[in-house]
Amino acid sequence: MAKRGSAKSPTRKTPKARARKYVYFFGKGKADGNRSMKDQLGGKGAGLAEMTNAGLPVPPGFTIASQVCSIYNRQARIPAAIEREIDEHLKRLEKAAGATLGSADNPLLVSVRSGAKFSMPGMMDTILNLGLNDDAAEGLKRRTGNERFAYDSYRRFVQMFGNVVLEIPKEEFEHEFEGVKKGRRASLDTDLDGRALREVVDRYKGVVQRRAGRPFPQEPREQLTMARDAVFRSWMNPRAREYRRIYHIPDDIGTAVNVQMMVFGNTGERSATGVGFTRNPASGKKEFYGEFLINAQGEDVVAGIRTPQPIRQLAEVMPNAYKQLRDITTRLERHYRDVQDFEFTIQDEQLFMLQTRSGKRTGYAAVVIATDLVAEKLITPKEAILLVDPESLIQLMALGFDPDEWRKIPAATRGLPASPGAASGQVVFSADDAVIWTQRGQPVVLVRRETTPDDIRGMFVSQGILTATGGMTSHAAVVGRQMGRPAVVGAGELEIDERAKRFTVNGKTVKEGDFISFDGLSGEVKIARVASKPSEILQVVAGTLDPKRSDIYQRFDKLLGWADRYRRLEVRANADLPDQAEIAHAFGARGVGLCRTEHMFFGEGRIPIVQRMILANSEADRRKALDELMPLQRQDFYGILKAMNGAPVTIRMIDPPLHEFLPRREELMVEVARLEITDPQSPALAGKRRMLQRVEQLHEFNPMLGHRGVRLGITYPEITEMQTRAIVEAACQLTKEGVKVAPEIMIPLVGDVRELRDQKAVVDRVADETMKQHGVRIKYLVGSMIEVPRGALTAGQIATEAQFFSFGTNDLTQMTYGFSRDDIGKFLRIYQERSILDRDPFTTLDTDGVGAIIRFGVERGRKARPGLKIGICGEHGGDPASIHFFEQVGLDYVSCSPYRVPIARLAAAQAALSVKVGD
Ligand code: PEP
Ligand code: MG
């Protein structure tokens, strides 16, 4: 067996090379991994490896790869080979640390921390001070001569372990802690001495025995295994899953686990722990930003238990450590060429770096930082494009308060401005209430002493989040910024009684349901409902603010200008009315990809005419009503074509089933019954009865698959004629006025080339007549929507008639999946919870199914008509992930709602640069 196969055989590998590596060491200036290995090491592990390699002061440790998490969650155990690999690395760590896990004389203590590829702040679990037991705590006390420190560390460990691993509610421990504090008349945890903390540990151990039915585990290797597995399990906890659902993070990538030698920020007044950013993550300003706590451990800062001090004050208390921290973080920012979010601990004035990663930031800050980094020549414009999440641009367009209204109301209090934006709504005190009230259509502001990761859903639905404790990096602040929800945190004057559902502030009481408002940029909180106002960007777009007076508009414009340089896809807008087309143009849309003409039918005074058209008994009557509609439609087309100034405007012929323009059947029945009883002579009664009769005639069991789209044009060609005439007359008129026009007439819901041929003949005939009448020749195209699967499957035939294609991915998704676009809400959530669907397919394109059909349609269409112009006008046209797909399949343009045009421009540039969304 020993020498099977030749040693030279190219396929033969040594057993060692074949075994996969699952554990990566870092320490003493050298790491097995590096920054490019986030898939294996997670963000934290990759950052620790990179910092170690750069010679920064990082305590040694090792990272267990994310893939092990997936194995564990599948098999509920870790294979023996990986256990051995962990043991080897533990030995290596003990050597590097010069201490031994479980030793009574010189115990090694470690942290066990989660860290996935995408940061999920606070969603998963962490355990600090692992390795402590009764002997090691005594050993630590002897070695450091610091009883308080030893037992403070031990009590933290028992609590974290008890809560995370043994799943004992935190309150059980907090209750005991408060009991000891009360007994000693202490108000802060730092007021307790070593003896008191020893008592806390004893009480905690009692809690463990009572609640877990077993003593607190004293064997450190067992502690490590249990903690590691608990961290892996926390990947699947409900809040982490909810977070992944919101941020579209795949469930199967798992989290890495970092086991790292502890350094202590809680050894006394010369120690501290803190977090920070190299620039302000809320405003983007270039300022060193963060906070710290003296004599504390990392979790205290983010948990919002004590309000930390601003980082500038560190310069006063520990100038050397502060200077070193500034130097290191500046180097890190230059190295990564992006804002860094870092964690550090100072142990007896010695600085250690515990984390660095790209800092999460608001959309506002993202634009400021990207443009600043280019100005500072740290990055190129191309790199700047990749630094901004397209979706976050929506925050720049969010509402602000009207300054005059805002000034009128006195501030009730002020907190830390953690996430910008104007929030106004009714106060609720729990995340669950936030969800319930919002479902009832009430805007809410979530007020909490501090938020926890369990509050994530409630935070997501709220207008804003207001907390009484916590700093700029507390959970509420971090998550608020990331979600783009306004947040004010650490408003210490609030006295919140969450049980009684009220708070008081400076003598005023606010109850659940009362309105409050706050400004996430200034931190001011007011007890009132305050009207909001469009953002600066929207004001510039609306022409009410001079762009030169808005710094943020100029940066926004610059960034999008860079994006335009790199994108291949054109960006158009879905605009039904002239004012929408104007906004879209101002946002940079060059063309309209979809004008839903029927939306014009809902314009003022038009519905009765449309109803007359539908109720007509003869073609002649129908034509009469259509003649009335024609000038109104012409006027709209005139406005849209003018706003687009020569850029193509795709106008779709009528699409929805006609009953949508009539009152609802049930309402009419009630109305008729009421009149029959109360006023049988009423002249309105006959009309209502006729209407009801027509509604009943038009009733369809499945209107989405019924008499709509091209089928309407075929059965009532006079509608197609009227719409064609309105378009061509508007175009002729503009041409006479010297304005360039490029109308594209689009036939919806085509599944068979013969349908298109029928309608194209009508359009061409009427266009020709109209142009002759006006003595003007205009260029126009006639094309087809591709939104019925059969249309895509026979795209080769359809392209012989169609001069362009536009994928209607709303209907195409509906008909490919067979999910009703109006009813998917009933089961979508359950599908997502069961991981049957990751995303709503009506928001983000299902590339495997619907995408395959699109790909096929593009290939066949272009084969039949080389150079065929193809776009997309479904909702997916404004979704960054879908835009990546449209880039790949070589569409010519995407079309989306006017407000999403900036998002699409940026996403199209990122897609052209081939960067995966979220990477
Ligand atoms: C579509 O189906 O994608 C489309 C754009 O048309 P509508 O949404 O109007 O059906
Ligand atoms: Mg459609």
Residue range 38-52, pLDDT digits in tens = 999 999 999 999 999
- The CA distance from 672 to 696, in Å, is 14
Confidence of residue 482 (pLDDT cuts 50, 70, 90): low
Confirm whether 475 is a catalytic residue. yes
Atom of ligand 1 minimally distant from the CA of 596? 9
Determine the Cα–Cα distance for residues 262 and 164; give it in Å rounded to an integer: 18
Nearest ligand 1 atom to the CA of 811 is 2
Inform me whether the pLDDT recorded for 577 exceeds 90. no
Given a cut of 70, is residue 131 above it in pLDDT? Answer: yes
For 727, the 3-state DSSP assignment is helix
pLDDT number for residue 829: 81
108-122, 176-190, 424-438: which has the minimum mean pLDDT? 176-190
Distance from residue 600's CA to the centre of ligand 2 (Å): 16
Quick one: which ligand is closest to 574's CA?
1
- Split at pLDDT 50, 70, 90, the class of 248 is confident
Is the pLDDT at 6 greater than 70? The verdict is: no
- Tell me the CA–centroid distance for residue 583 and ligand 1, in Å: 21
Burial of 761 (0-12, 13-18, 19+ CB in 10 A): middle
Distance 602 CA to ligand 1 centre (A): 17
Q: Give the pLDDT band (50/70/90) at residue 822.
A: confident
Q: Which of 69, 595, 732, 873 is catalytic?
A: 873
% the chain with pLDDT above 70: 96
- Decide if pLDDT at 916 tops 70: no
35 secondary structure, DSSP code: T
Res. 127: pLDDT tops 60? yes
Whether 265 is in the pocket of ligand 1, judged by its Cβ within 6 Å, is no
Question: How confident is the model at residue 485, as a pLDDT?
Answer: 82
The average pLDDT across 459-485 equals 81
What local confidence, expressed as pLDDT, does residue 35 receive?
Answer: 93
Task: Calculate helix-pair angle for 38-53, 66-75, nearest 10 degrees.
Answer: 140
- Between CA 109 and CA 131 the distance in angstroms is 5
Average pLDDT over residues 448-463: 86
Report, in angstroms and rounded to the nearest whole number, the Rg of the chain calculated over CA atoms.
33
Q: What is the 3-state secondary structure (H, E, C) of 114-144?
A: EEECCCCCCCCCEEEEECCCHHHHHHHHHHH
pLDDT value of residue 609: 92
Q: Ligand 1 atom 1: the closest Cα is on which residue?
A: 808
Closest residue CA from atom 10 of ligand 1 = 811
Residue 280 has which token pair? Answer: 């302000």
Best probe residue, ligand 1, of 597, 708, 712, 785 (max atoms within 8 Å of C-beta): 785
Closest ligand 1 atom, residue 574 Cα? 5
Quickly tell me which residue has 């949508």 as its tokens: 660
Ligand 1 lined by 650 (C-beta under 6 Å): no
**Which is higher by pLDDT, 827 or 427?**
427
Distance 865 CA to ligand 1 centre (A): 24
Judge if the beta carbon of residue 809 lies within 6 A of ligand 1: yes
Residues 338 and 366: their CA atoms lie apart, in Å, by: 10
Which ligand has the shortest distance to the CA of 594?
Answer: 1
**Of the candidates 893, 281, 896, 903, the residue with the CA atom closest to the CA atom of residue 559:** 903
pLDDT at 835: 84
Question: pLDDT value at position 484?
Answer: 66
* Residue 472: pLDDT band with limits 50, 70, 90: low
Q: What CA–CA distance (Å, rounded) separates 517 from 529?
A: 6
Mean pLDDT of 543-568: 96
Residue 579 confidence (pLDDT)? 85
- Does 656 contact ligand 1 (Cβ within 6 A)? no
Does the reported pTM lie above 0.85?
Answer: no
Is 840 a pocket residue for ligand 1 (Cβ < 6 Å)? no
Residue 372 CB–ligand 1 contact under 6 Å: no
The 3 state secondary structure assigned to 415-472 is: CEEEECCEEEEEEECCHHHHHHHHHCCCCEEEEECCCCHHHHHHHHHCCEEEECCCCC
Query: Ligand 2 centre and the CA of 650: distance in Å?
Result: 14
**791 touches ligand 1 (CB under 6 Å):** no
Give the orientation angle of helix 901-912 with respect to helix 880-888, to 10 degrees. 50
- CB count in 10 Å sphere of residue 375: 12
804 C-alpha to ligand 1 centroid (Å): 16
Min mean pLDDT across 202-216, 572-586, 897-911 is at 572-586
Q: Residue 808 — pLDDT band, cuts 50, 70, 90?
A: very high
CA–centroid distance, residue 810 to ligand 1 (Å): 5
Report the residue among 655, 807, 893 best suited for mutation to probe ligand 1: largest number of ligand atoms under 8 A from its CB: 655
Please, are residues 291 and 310 in contact by the beta-carbon 8 Å criterion? Answer: yes
The CA-based angle 118-123-127, given to 5 degrees, is 105
**How large is the angle between the packed helices 850-864 and 809-817, nearest 10 degrees?**
120
3-state helix, strand, coil split of the chain in percent (to 5) is 50, 15, 35
Ligand 1 site, residue 598, Cβ cutoff 6 A: no
Going by pLDDT thresholds of 50, 70 and 90, the confidence category of residue 15 is very low
Q: Model confidence at 305, in pLDDT bands (50, 70, 90)? A: low
Output the average pLDDT for the chain: 91
Higher pLDDT among residues 158 and 478, named by residue: 158
What residues does the ion ligand 2 have nearby, CB within 5 Å? Answer: 787, 808, 811
Indicate whether residue 811 lines ligand 1 (CB < 6 A): yes
Confirm if 749 and 710 have CB atoms less than 8 A apart: yes
Would you say residue 870 has pLDDT above 70? yes
Confidence class of residue 417 from pLDDT cuts 50, 70 and 90? confident
Whether 750 lines ligand 1, by a CB cut-off of 6 Å, is no
CA distance linking residue 206 with residue 360, whole number of Å: 41
Contact (CB, 8 A) for 629 and 716: no
Angstrom distance (rounded) from CA 718 to CA 431: 55
Residue 597 CB less than 6 A away from ligand 1 = no
Tell me the best of 576, 594, 846 to mutate to test the pocket of ligand 1, counting ligand atoms within 8 Å of each CB and taking the most. Answer: 594
208 and 159 in contact (C-beta within 8 Å)?
Answer: no
* Residue 134 CA, ligand 2 centroid: distance in Å: 69
Select the more confidently predicted residue: 306 or 551.
551
**pLDDT at 16 (0 to 100):** 45
Q: Would the pLDDT of 770 be above 70?
A: yes
Q: Using DSSP bridges, classify how beta strands 495-497 and 502-505 pair: parallel, antiparallel or unpaired.
A: antiparallel
Confidence check: pLDDT of 274 > 70: yes
Which of ligand 1's atoms lies nearest the C-alpha of 809?
3
Ligand number nearest to the C-alpha of 854: 1
- 80 has pLDDT over 90: yes
**Does ligand 1 come within 6 angstroms of the Cβ of 42?**
no
Cβ atoms of residues 357 and 341 within 8 Å: yes
CA-proximal residue: ligand 1, atom 3 (nearest):
808
pLDDT in tens, 349-399: 999 999 999 998 989 999 999 999 999 999 999 999 999 999 889 888 877
Rounded (10°) CA dihedral 455, 457, 460, 465: -20
Mean pLDDT of 187-214: 90
- Quick one: average pLDDT of 529-535? 86
Look at residue 796 and give its three-state secondary structure: helix
Q: What average pLDDT does this structure show over 795-801?
A: 98
- Which of 788, 810, 814 has most ligand 1 atoms within 8 Å of CB, for mutation? 810
Pocket lining: 385 vs ligand 1, CB cutoff 6 Å: no
The number of the ligand nearest the C-alpha atom of 872 reads: 1
Distance 655 CA to ligand 1 centre (A): 9
Average pLDDT of the segment spanning 620-640: 94
Distance 614 CA to ligand 2 centre (A): 21
What average pLDDT score do residues 764-779 get? 97
